[in-house]
Structures are given as structure tokens and as C-alpha cells.
Amino acid sequence: MARIESHPGGASLIAERPNSSRGRSWTTLLDAVLGALVEIPVAILVAAEIVILFAGVIARFVLHQPLVWSDELASILFLWLAMLGAVVAFRRNEHMRMTAIVSRASPQTRVFLDVFATGAALAFLLLIAWPAFEYAQEETFITTPALEITNAWRAAALPVGIGLMAIFALLRLSRIGSIRTVATALAAVAAIIIAFWLAEPLFRQLGNLNLVIFFIGVVAGSVLVGVPIAFAFGLAIFGYLTLTTQTPLMVLVGRMDEGMSHLILLAVPLFVFLGLLIEMTGMARAMVAFLASLLGHVRGGLHYVLVGAMYLVSGISGAKAADMAAVAPVLFPEMKARGAKPGDLVALLSATGAQTETVPPSLVLITIGSVTGVSIAALFTGGLLPGVVLAVTLCLVVWWRYRKEDLSHVKRASRREIGRAFVVAVPAIALPFVIRAAVVEGVATATEVSTIGIVYAIVIGLVVYRQFDWTKLKPMLIDTACLSGAILLIIGTATGMAWGLTQSGFSRSLAAAMTGLPGGAVTFMAVSIVAFIILGSVLEGIPAIVLFGPLLFPIARAVGIHEVHYAMVVILAMGIGLFAPPFGVGYYAACAIGRVEPAEGMKPILGYMLALVIGTIIVAAVPWISIGFLS
């Protein structure tokens, strides 16, 4: 019989083969050796990024001698961090995957589906390996401006990471299931690929119907049988480009590179590490103790704190994944200790990610202003209140769900206890204000600011709380890279999908259809909400804005909708799609950060998503919420 093991970060159904113990021993040894050879460099990369970016802050703000090469070097190392982190996540089987169906299957079927999922991931890796190598070769002709080295040093991370993941996939297949199960599952993967390849002449005649087949059918089918999300996206866009277009596959690798290596996303691993650091140094416990003393006796109290905390820190890093990574590790442990279910926590975390999309400073707001000509200052002013409206709707759901919460075991804190907890927590509570002040005062960029938080947390942990376990640093750095790699690979393949959708001409067709709608502003706004919820589930915020903003904002103005009002509604609707399962990338990022299986949050998130939709409708129906404070 097969043995099924569970691993953190998703449903990992590993079935060790009972026979061939000699074969299993050498593959296990090889896996451990290669794993160490990847984990040590990736831990060094995370530490190096922190040092480089913080050195840039000191050189520019303190010494007034900017390091012109710091951002460039950080960008080069970041792609290596992302790809090797994805390798670590693959080895640990911690890439996010949907297991709502897989978990209900019989043990034998679960083992088969796990082998099938690994085989599907391996198929994508093998198919993309040569284009990745060609892409790295092409980058040899580009020289970086500051360091004056060939860009191949950076681009080589893609084929190296893909090759290492393929090796770990083969090692896993050598250890899981019976030989018959592995052969059957791999044959099924091969048969599906061959069937699609033979159907190429048919696909080329279907036009934009292929968008439904690949971006909905292939993605949905792959996700539901347990293929990791990143690889499901990758298979869909690879199949679409190969079988329906003449696009060189090297272009797909370039789009993945672009999606994964945007320097603003470097805030993701740094905030992930900051979250782990806050917990290790005792800062998290101090903050939670104070918040619990204030709201611990209130039903659902810490859930309200989560909503407020996301509003407070939102936009600091410019990446929603980084915002969630800064908040979740602080609150989740105590909320779980108080009986909150992990699925509900990750559902609320995901919902708050959508809630705070309009809160400045926001990269989406800056982008929408740059591509549409709308005043960024006006967008910043208009974005504050819509986030509050959605926060209120989420809090109403929290109140309803936790109105009967049993708090008989929770003692209400006295004023003296609250005061004492506040004094202890002041250094920890000051952290988000230190981070925000650093951005507002121009001390650091949105990417660099997390390093200030890290240094602050280290100093406070050593000097104030005197709780700093040096032995935990290496595992924390590796865990940071692992989690970040899983998130960034999803973003990379999703960016490839976004590019494919752009090239299909779908954007022009959508704009033409919406221009001819009857009913004026009301119908146009309603259709925009539905359309951007759908688009948000396929595209990231910035690609969607760049693609559709210049097309739809003139239409909005023509039908009498204020451009700031329309921007708020569009961003909120897109945020709902981005964080709504089963296709929303943001939802899986929240699950990865919370280390919760995606299936657990499916049911709890429905109420929160309904609250967000209601809040968005309120914002759409009452223009004053968006434009009332504009001068």
C-alpha cells in the first residue's frame, strides 16, 4: 500500500514506494544533497538583498552618496532568489494547489492524482526548458548600465531554476506510488499533450474561442485535479501560444521574467522575512497582547484588528502580497489560539487585500494615473474613503459570524493591564509608523522600506525584548525564499497569460462591445464591475489597467462618469476578481502566506466576497464617496 504524507503549505500527497528500498535510499540521498546545495545559496541571497538595499538607503540618505549599482544588483539577485525559491518550494511540495476534489478521493485515486500533478508540472518544465535557455543566450547581447556585465548572469536563473525543478520532479516520481501508478499517470499526461498537439489545425480555426478553451478550460481542469496553480497557468499559456499562434516561445519566458523580476516585488520576500522576524523577536506577541487587551473581550475582536491593520499598512510596499505578509504572521497565531479556523482567517486576509486596493500610496493608483491622465493626487485623495466603506461591510460579516462567539474563558483586561501592555508594545506598535514615515519622508523607496523594518526589528529584538535566536535565522531565510518563490512563480506565469490575452485582441473587442451598451452610465458602470471582476481573476492589476484603462476611461467620461469615481469602482472590482477563488492569484498568495490549504478558505470567503461586492456597489452608486473630498 502507498503511504500518504501531508506537508505544510498545501495538500501534498506523497506516496512512498514500499519496494525498491535501495533505489529509494539513493534518490533520497540525492534529493537531500541537491536540496542543501539550493537552500544554502537561496538563504544567502535573501540576506544579501537585505544588506544591499539597506546599504542603498544609508548611502543615499545618510552619506548623500547614492549607490548607483545597488538597484541593478538587487534586480539580478532577485530573479535568482525567485527561481531558486521556487525550486525549494517544489522540492518541499509547497507550491499552492487546489485540493477540494483531490482530498475527497480514495487513497489510491489521491496517489494517482498526485503523480499526475507532478507529471503535468514536469511536462511544463520540460517544454519551457529550451525556450528558457534560448532566452538566457539572447540576453548575453545586453549589458547592464551600472555594473556593465552581461544580462545573461541574471537571465540564467530561469533555465537553471527550471532544470532543478525538473530534476526534483524526477526524483519525486522515483519515490512515489507504484511503478504501474507512475506509468499510468505519466501516460495520461502524455496522451493529453498529444491530443492537444494533434488538434492544432482545429484550434487555429477557432479564433478567440481558444481563450475559453485554454484560459478557462485548461486552467480549471488542471487546478481541480491538483496541478499546482503556477504550472496550471503555465500549461495554459504555453498551449495557447504554441497551438494557436506563431509566437516564439522565448517571448513567453520573457514575459515570465518581466512578471517575476519587477523590483517592487522584492518587497514580498523582505516583508515575509520581516513577519518571521517580528514573531521570533517577541514583537508579535507584544502587539497581540496589547490588541487583545483592548479588543480581546469583544466578539470577533482580532478580526476587526486584521481589517484595520491591512488598511493601515496597505500600499507601504506597493504589493498586496507583501502587505499580507507583514500583517498575517503577527495576528494569525493568537487568532488561531482563540479558536478561529484557518480557512476563515485566510478568507478574511484575502478579502482585506481586495478591500485596500484603493488605499494610497498604491502602485495601481499611480499606474492608472499614468496611463489615463487622471491626476494621481486626486486618485490618492479619492482612494481613502472607498477602502473604509468596504472595511465596514467586511466588519459587518465578522460581527454576524462571531456574534455568538464564546468568550467565557476570556477575561476583560483592566485599565492597568491595558496600560502595562501598551508600554511593552510601544516599540512593536511603532513599526508600521516607522515604515510609513520612511516612505512619506523619502528616506526609502517602497522596496527599500522593508529593510528599515528588518533592521528596526533586529535592534528592538536584541536591545528591548532581548529575544533573538540566532539559530533560527537560516531556517527563516530558507522559509522566506520558499514562500516567496511559490508566490512569484504564480505571478510570472500569470503575467504570461495576461500578455497572451493582450495579443489576442480581446481588449479591443471588449471596448467596442461596451461602447454600444444601452442604458447610459448606469449600465456602463454595472457592466464595468462585472467585466473587471472577471478580468481581475485572469490579470494582475497593473496589466489590466495598462490594457483597458486607455480604452474605457474615455467612454466613462463620455457617458458622464467622473474619472476618479470610475477609477475607484474599477480598481475595487478588479481587486475582487484578483482575490476571489478559484482563479484569483491573490487568493492563492494569501493561502501561501497563511500556510493554509486553499480548499479550507473556499466556503468562508463567499460571505466576505459578497460583502465586497455590496461595498463596491455602494461606492459605484454614491459618487461622493470617491470625489467628495476633491477640491
DSSP state, residue 485: H
Closest C-alpha among 404, 392, 79 to residue 259: 79
DSSP state, residue 410: P
pLDDT-derived band at 358, boundaries 50, 70, 90:
confident
Q: What is the mean pLDDT of residues 34-61?
A: 91
User: How confident is the model at residue 10, as a pLDDT?
Assistant: 39
User: 64-68, 138-142, 289-293, 576-580: which range is least confident on average?
Assistant: 289-293
User: How confident is the model at residue 3, as a pLDDT?
Assistant: 28
User: 189-203, 396-410, 596-610: which range is least confident on average?
Assistant: 396-410
d(CA 502, CA 500) in angstroms, rounded, equals 5
User: 49-63, 368-382, 439-453, 466-480: which range is least confident on average?
Assistant: 439-453
Residue pointed to by grid coordinates 534560448: 134
Q: Which residue has the higher pLDDT, 383 or 449?
A: 383
- pLDDT of 18 above 50: no
- pLDDT of 242 above 70: yes
Q: Which residue has the higher pLDDT, 322 or 110?
A: 110
User: How confident is the model at residue 511, as a pLDDT?
Assistant: 66
User: How confident is the model at residue 15, as a pLDDT?
Assistant: 42
Q: Is 258 exposed, middle or buried (0-12, 13-18, 19+ CB in 10 A)?
A: middle
User: How confident is the model at residue 23, as a pLDDT?
Assistant: 53
- pLDDT of 546 above 80: no
For residue 470, the surrounding DSSP H or E stretch is none
d(CA 145, CA 72) in angstroms, rounded, equals 8
User: How confident is the model at residue 243, as a pLDDT?
Assistant: 93
406 neighbors 275 (Cβ within 8 angstroms): no
Q: Which residue has the higher pLDDT, 17 or 416?
A: 416
Cα separations in angstroms, 160 against 38, 46, 82, 117, 152: 11, 18, 12, 22, 12
User: How confident is the model at residue 65, as a pLDDT?
Assistant: 84
User: How confident is the model at residue 508, as a pLDDT?
Assistant: 67
Q: What is the mean pLDDT of residues 509-529?
A: 79
β-sheet bridge partners, residue 176? 16
Please list, residue by residue across 169-189, b when 16 or more beta carbons sit within 10 angstroms of its beta carbon and e when fewer do: bebbbbbbbbeebbeebbeeb
202 neighbors 188 (Cβ within 8 angstroms): no
> What percentage of the chain's residues is helix, strand, coil (to nearest 5)?
75, 0, 25
Q: Which residue has the higher pLDDT, 153 or 279?
A: 153
How many Cβ atoms from other residues are within 10 Å of residue 208's Cβ? 12
Q: What is the mean pLDDT of residues 39-43?
A: 94
Average pLDDT over all residues of the chain = 83
Radius of gyration of the chain (CA): 24
Helices 249-260 + 70-91 axis angle, to 10: 110
Closest C-alpha among 39, 34, 42 to residue 168: 34
User: How confident is the model at residue 51, as a pLDDT?
Assistant: 93
363 neighbors 264 (Cβ within 8 angstroms): yes
pLDDT-derived band at 542, boundaries 50, 70, 90:
low
Q: pLDDT by residue (tens digit) across 163-175? A: 999 999 999 998 8
Please list, residue by residue across 311-335, b when 16 or more beta carbons sit within 10 angstroms of its beta carbon and e when fewer do: bbbbbbbbbbbbbbbbbbbbbbebb
Q: How many CA atoms does the CB half-sphere of 378 hold within 13 Å?
A: 19
- pLDDT of 522 above 90: no
pLDDT-derived band at 631, boundaries 50, 70, 90:
low
pLDDT-derived band at 17, boundaries 50, 70, 90:
very low
pLDDT-derived band at 492, boundaries 50, 70, 90:
confident
- pLDDT of 416 above 70: yes
Which range among 82-91, 449-458, 522-531 has the greatest average pLDDT?
A: 82-91
Tell me the pTM: 0.77
pLDDT-derived band at 19, boundaries 50, 70, 90:
very low
pLDDT-derived band at 585, boundaries 50, 70, 90:
confident
pLDDT-derived band at 422, boundaries 50, 70, 90:
confident
